[in-house]
């Protein structure tokens, strides 16, 4: 069961080689064995998971089997799941039991997939190392002294260590792709609006997008089939024709034009990462693709723009945590104001407070035009760069992250160094484009991810291009030593 | 752009976050660093550029103004730190 693809697991469940109950028990026992070291999960609810598995087995025995029925999936603790504690990695929501299901969770429930547990994450998804979580940092199974990346670090660690066959994540500036790169598996951030944000705790609403995290592109295609849906409960959800993302996985990629942005290969990119990326691009050439030089001239402004827009939206979204309707409330206070001030001082961690303060500053009277409006204008320029680039190529490729996984604590006290982790991923969130990270090799026994960026709604094409690479490589199947 | 102690006091008030003296001193350096990074934006001219607030420039959909949610108070009130009947309790604000 350890290294079977979702398709194989599904086949075995349908053939009754093993039951969903057995499969779920298998992964729960792996979580019990390894979670102390990795800290990938915040909440495990064995009896809920197993009763979902039992329901799935009932459906399978009645012949009502769908592709992911009975498959245990780890859910990032940013998704509300009814009856489950949902913390978003924060003290503020330490005891919050979600009263309803996020649409992503509901979609998985509707086909009787099993919720395997809620995974650790950076607090309110703010971080690139999973060190800002109130529930402690997550370890990278490839090297326990290294970070798994963030903010979907718990999901990443769980998938890499095969504590779950697949997981969900969310990506506001790289939070699916950077941890997928650092932990050596496949992660996809869809086009903004393809997956509903309803019940997904908001960080920066114009950038947040949920997506699948699993060993292979084929797995991700199956997950996306369930995750993507038009939802009237999310006003930014796009009414996009329902697709089967597994259909075109086997299309040949002969003649594919791959755009190589020169800005992604400059200073700041680790030399051994660059070498592995170049080898992966050579492999694509052997598969019949053609490399085209392109330029994304404003990409150096993506980080400054992001650190205006994301904190601005966060400062507004996080104003709901006031200690009145749900969540943490300080123990002692003199009056209402005092209660607000202390609740938010004690309930939020350092990084969250920093971003709320930056967001408040850039939106405050007298600064709006100089910062927020300016950032929105440059966001347009960054988006236009991609539009120009896609006139010359079908897909854009480069590194997902500037380096392999770094040491725990190494960048924790230096927010600016941490922010640079997302230098190659942020611009696609600003433009709303779909993008993936796929394993491309190992450097000093740590994974390196190749990033693939597609045009709007071209998830099917991206998954096809990734799948073709994975048919002739096995980096996505590698499991860290000491874990199997 | 330098963020001063006075700025921190002002924005912490707007954000309703209590900041201790020690925290404020640490924040000054870190927030100034972040604002310097952000100020990189000022190097390009954006006068004739239309701001982009949404990734796909879509319109807000409208729906009929009908009741679509059932009464979920029974589910949500127990989540409140302090509640009585169907009311959220806060310190007295009106004398």
CA of B39: which chain A residue's CA is closest?
Answer: A304
Looking at the 3D structure of chain A, how many domains does it have? 1
**What pLDDT is attached to residue B94?**
85
Judged by CB atoms closer than 8 Å, whether chains meet at B37 and A375 is answered as no
Q: Where are the domains of chain B?
A: 5-42
φ, ψ of residue A292 to 5 degrees: the values are -125, 130
**What pLDDT is attached to residue B34?**
96
Quick check: is A380 in a domain? no
Quick check: is A102 in a domain? yes
Question: Which are the contacts of A273, defined by CB distance < 8 A and separation ≥ 6?
Answer: A399, A401, A402, A403, A404, A443, A448
**What pLDDT is attached to residue B64?**
87
Judged by CB atoms closer than 8 Å, whether chains meet at A381 and B27 is answered as no
Beta strand ranges found along A208-250 (DSSP E): 209-214
**What pLDDT is attached to residue A256?**
98
Judged by CB atoms closer than 8 Å, whether chains meet at B75 and A99 is answered as yes
Quick check: is A34 in a domain? yes
Residue A452's beta-bridge partner residues? A397, A436
Average pLDDT, chain A: 97
**What pLDDT is attached to residue A116?**
98
Q: Examine the residue annotation and report whether A235 is marked as an active-site residue of this protein.
A: no
A242: containing domain = 6-255+462-477
CA of A339: which chain B residue's CA is closest?
Answer: B91
> Distances in Å between the alpha carbon of A69 and those of A6, A31, A215, A244?
10, 21, 18, 16
- Please tell me whether the peptide bond between A151 and the residue prior to it is cis, using omega within 30 degrees of 0: yes
Of B34, B63, B76, the CB nearest to A307: B34
| Residue given tokens 């997506």 in the structure block | A211
Write the pLDDT tens digit of every residue in A34-70.
Answer: 999 999 999 999 999 999 999 999 999 999 999 999 9
Q: What is the dihedral of CA A48, A52, A54, A55, to 10 degrees?
A: 140
Structure tokens at B19: 């900041």
For residues A278-303, give the mean pLDDT.
97
Write the pLDDT tens digit of every residue in A10-43.
Answer: 999 999 999 999 999 999 999 999 999 999 999 9
User: Which of the pair, B66 or A152, is modelled with greater confidence?
Assistant: A152
Among A149, A130, A140, A162, smallest CA distance to A5 is for A162
Q: Examine the residue annotation and report whether A76 is marked as an active-site residue of this protein.
A: yes
Q: Which of A20, A49, A151, A427 is catalytic?
A: A151
Quick check: is A53 in a domain? yes
The alpha carbon of residue A337 is apart from the nearest alpha carbon of chain B, in Å, by 8
The answer to whether residue A484 scores a pLDDT higher than 70 is no
Among A416, A317, A412, smallest CA distance to A359 is for A317
Confidence of residue A451 (pLDDT cuts 50, 70, 90): very high
Beta strands A257-261 and A290-294 are: parallel
Judged by CB atoms closer than 8 Å, whether chains meet at B7 and A361 is answered as yes
**What pLDDT is attached to residue A339?**
98
Quick check: is A414 in a domain? no
Of A304, A329, A370, the CB nearest to B37: A304
φ, ψ of residue A197 to 5 degrees: the values are -95, 0
Quick check: is A378 in a domain? no
A 406-435 residues with CB below 8 A of B?
415-416, 419, 429-432
A405 and A421 in contact (C-beta within 8 Å)?
no
Confidence of residue B17 (pLDDT cuts 50, 70, 90): very high
**What pLDDT is attached to residue A423?**
95
For residues A72-100, give the mean pLDDT.
98
Question: Which are the contacts of A145, defined by CB distance < 8 A and separation ≥ 6?
Answer: A139, A407, A408
Quick check: is A112 in a domain? yes
**What pLDDT is attached to residue B57?**
66
Provide the 8-state DSSP code for A388: H
Among A398, A219, A422, smallest CA distance to A302 is for A422
**CATH code (residue A242):** 3.90.1300.10
Write the pLDDT tens digit of every residue in B20-55.
Answer: 999 999 999 999 999 999 999 999 999 999 999 888
Write the pLDDT tens digit of every residue in A235-285.
Answer: 999 999 999 999 999 999 999 999 999 999 998 999 999 999 999 999 999
Q: Which of A19, A49, A76, A196 is catalytic?
A: A76
Among A401, A390, A397, smallest CA distance to A456 is for A390
Quick check: is A323 in a domain? no
Distance CA A232, CA A41 (A): 31
Of A338, A341, A415, the CB nearest to B17: A341
The answer to whether residue B69 scores a pLDDT higher than 90 is no
Distance CA B78, CA A84 (A): 15
- Please tell me whether the peptide bond between A17 and the residue prior to it is cis, using omega within 30 degrees of 0: no
The answer to whether residue A156 scores a pLDDT higher than 90 is yes
Q: Examine the residue annotation and report whether A151 is marked as an active-site residue of this protein.
A: yes
**What pLDDT is attached to residue B62?**
84
């Amino acid at each position: 069961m350890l290294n079977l693809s979702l398709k194989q697991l599904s086949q075995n469940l349908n053939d009754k080689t093993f039951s969903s109950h057995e499969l779920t028990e298998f992964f729960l026992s792996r979580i019990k064995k390894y979670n102390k070291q990795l800290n990938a999960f915040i909440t495990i609810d064995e009896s809920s998971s197993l009763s979902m598995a039992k329901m799935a087995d009932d459906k399978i025995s009645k012949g009502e089997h769908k592709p992911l029925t009975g498959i245990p999936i780890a859910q990032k603790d940013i998704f509300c799941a009814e009856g489950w504690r949902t913390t978003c990695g924060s003290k503020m929501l330490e005891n919050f039991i979600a009263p309803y299901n996020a649409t992503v969770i509901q979609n998985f429930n509707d086909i009787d997939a099993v919720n395997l547990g809620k995974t650790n994450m950076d607090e309110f998804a703010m971080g690139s190392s999973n060190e800002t979580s109130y529930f402690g940092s997550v370890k990278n199974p490839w090297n326990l002294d290294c970070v798994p990346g963030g903010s979907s670090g718990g999901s990443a660690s769980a998938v890499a260590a095969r504590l779950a066959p697949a997981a969900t994540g969310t990506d506001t500036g790289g939070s699916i792709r950077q941890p997928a790169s650092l932990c050596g598996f496949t992660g996809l951030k869809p086009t903004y609006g393809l997956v509903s944000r309803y019940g997904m705790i908001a960080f920066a609403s114009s950038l947040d997008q949920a997506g699948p995290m699993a060993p292979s592109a084929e797995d991700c295609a199956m997950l996306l089939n369930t995750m993507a849906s038009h939802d009237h409960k999310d006003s930014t959800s796009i009414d996009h024709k329902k697709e089967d993302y597994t259909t075109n996985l086997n299309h040949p990629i002969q003649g594919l034009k791959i755009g190589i942005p020169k800005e992604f290969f400059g200073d700041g990119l680790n030399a051994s990462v660059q070498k592995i990326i170049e080898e992966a691009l050579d492999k694509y050439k052997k598969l019949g693709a053609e490399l085209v030089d392109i330029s994304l001239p404003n990409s150096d402004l993506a980080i400054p723009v992001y650190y205006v827009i994301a904190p601005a939206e966060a400062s507004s979204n996080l104003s709901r945590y006031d200690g009145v309707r749900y969540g943490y409330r300080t123990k002692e206070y003199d009056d209402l104001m005092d209660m607000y001030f202390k609740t938010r001082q004690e309930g939020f961690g350092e990084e969250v407070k920093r971003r709320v303060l930056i967001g408040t500053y850039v939106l405050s009277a007298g600064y709006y035009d100089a910062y927020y409006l300016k950032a929105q204008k440059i966001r347009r320029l960054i988006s236009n760069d991609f539009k120009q680039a896609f006139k010359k190529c079908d897909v854009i490729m480069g590194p997902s992250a500037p380096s392999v996984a770094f040491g725990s604590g190494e960048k924790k006290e230096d927010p600016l160094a941490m922010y640079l982790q997302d230098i190659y991923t942020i611009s696609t969130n600003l433009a709303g484009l779909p993008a993936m990270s796929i394993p491309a090799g190992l450097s000093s026994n740590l994974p390196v991810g190749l990033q693939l960026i597609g045009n709007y709604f071209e998830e099917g094409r991206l998954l096809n291009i990734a799948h073709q690479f994975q048919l002739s490589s096995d980096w996505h199947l590698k499991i860290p030593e000491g874990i199997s | 752009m330098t963020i001063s102690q006075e700025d921190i006091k002002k924005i912490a008030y707007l954000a309703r976050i209590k900041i201790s003296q020690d925290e404020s001193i640490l924040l000054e350096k870190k927030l100034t660093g972040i604002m310097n990074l952000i100020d990189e934006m000022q190097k390009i001219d954006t006068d004739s550029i239309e701001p982009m607030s949404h990734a796909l420039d879509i319109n807000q959909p409208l729906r009929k103004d009908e009741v679509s949610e059932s009464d979920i108070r029974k589910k949500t009130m127990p989540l409140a730190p302090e509640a009585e009947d169907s009311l959220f309790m806060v310190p007295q604000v009106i004398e």
